[in-house]
Amino acid sequence: MKHFLQFVALGFCATTMPAAAQDYTPDAPLCIAPANPGGGWDLTCRSVARLLSEFDLTENTMQVRNMPGAGGGVAFAYTVGQQADNSDLVVAASGGTTLLLSRGELPDLEYTDVRWIGAIGADFPVIAVREDSEFDTLDSLLERLREDPRSVVLGGGSAVGGTDHIRPLQLARAGGVEDVANLRYISFEAGTAVTELLGGRSHVFTAGISEIAGQFEAGAVRILAVMAPERLDGAYSEIPTARELGYDVVAPNWRGFYAPAGMSDAAYDYWTNALLTIEASDEWAQVRQQNGLAPLRMVGEEFNTYVTEEVEVFREFSRELGLME
């Protein structure tokens, strides 16, 4: 994760170049949202499309096409198979995209079949417990997991082997738990993991901070750590990061884009610079805040390096969980 930590710092400053100064601007810009309207990928596409026009980064309005199916797999296969040379196309993606690709769930397709443009926001996972939990620190929780890994129930919104499952396993491994596959994890329906924590069906919440924000602000839960590179702002500024507590795990559920592998270098430069311009704007900061996302600025080759590392992490833990060979 060392490359990620070098480039994701929330204070990172990047020099951006207006699209007009580039050798390329898209004639028919298109963003594919690999889901139905209204979801996170759809929001990412539509927000970026709006800001491209507002900032005069493109002459023609970016169109958004929804292409649901296979957790993003339909859009990925379409991009690789039918749009390989389309420099005007970008596709919304997240950590769930790399998880899908890491498992080989798309036959004959690899994460290297596209160009990874960048990520400009993230929902960082947290380790949270009820306010009256016996675990008052991350150290106390990890100590229990080392002593008796089956005595604690972790709960998240993703399926077994999903990001809400793998992220706490990364933290447990960093905390000295040897057999992380032996930890107990329950997959709850989307949006109910917090309710199940409060109801006592789980002891630890392991999903993104946006899902538990309301209960945290109400004082019903205690967040032991956030898996971010630095402390978050505002109401979350007192929450320690796992890294500052001695466990070097940074694990964003990022929001970003990939593009066809045949995209020209000039087009790739255009899109990476456009993302940097958007990410640095007050308008994008407002979009992030409205959707519970923290700052994240990681584009170009740095982002490609991070995606490569993330795929390897997902593959490692998927093998330990017996989900792939």
C-alpha to C-alpha distances, 139 to 127, 135, 144, 203, nearest whole angstrom = 12, 9, 9, 15
Q: What is the pLDDT of residue 22?
A: 60
Query: What burial class does residue 190 get, using C-beta atoms within 10 Å of its C-beta: 0-12 exposed, 13-18 middle, 19+ buried?
Result: exposed
- Return d(Cα 13, Cα 61) in angstroms, integer: 28
Percent of the chain residues topping a pLDDT of 90: 89
The residue type of 215 is Q
* Contact call for residues 210 and 122 (beta carbons, < 8 A): no
Annotate 44-78 with three-state secondary structure: HHHHHHHHHHHCCCCCCCCEEEECCCHHHHHHHHH
Question: What does pTM read for this prediction?
Answer: 0.89
| Entry field: residues in the chain | 325
pLDDT-derived band of residue 325, with 50, 70 and 90 as boundaries?
Answer: confident
CATH of 2-123+252-320, one of 3.40.50.1220, 1.10.10.10, 3.40.190.150, 3.40.50.1110: 3.40.190.150
Q: Where are the domains of the chain?
A: 2-123+252-320, 126-236
Q: At 63, list the tokens.
A: 């169109």
Q: Do 72 and 93 meet the contact criterion of CB atoms below 8 Å apart?
A: yes
pLDDT of 219 reads 97
User: With 60 as the cut, is the pLDDT of residue 17 above it?
Assistant: no
pLDDT of residue 6 exceeding 50: no
Residue 260 CA: distances (Å) to CA of 156, 201, 213, 314 = 33, 44, 36, 23
pLDDT tens string 159-183: 999 999 999 999 999 999 999 999 9
pLDDT, the chain, mean: 92
For 231-278, write each residue's pLDDT tens digit: 999 899 999 999 999 999 999 999 999 999 999 999 999 999 999 999
Q: Which residue has the tokens 């990939």?
A: 258
Give 19-77 pLDDT, tens digit per residue. Answer: 334 689 999 999 999 999 998 999 999 999 999 999 999 999 999 999 999 999 999 99
Is residue 257 within 8 Å of 296, Cβ to Cβ? no
Local structure of residue 188 (DSSP, 8 states): P
The yes-or-no answer to whether 2-123+252-320 and 126-236 have a common fold is yes
Which architecture characterizes domain 126-236 according to CATH? 3-Layer(aba) Sandwich (3.40)
pLDDT of residue 322: 95
* Cross-strand partners of 227: none
Dmax over CA atoms of the chain, in Å, equals: 61
Answer with the residue of higher pLDDT: 190 or 75: 75
Q: Which tokens go with 161?
A: 């082997």
CA gap 30, 44 in Å, rounded: 13
Residues 6+ apart with CB under 8 A from 131: 219, 220, 221, 222
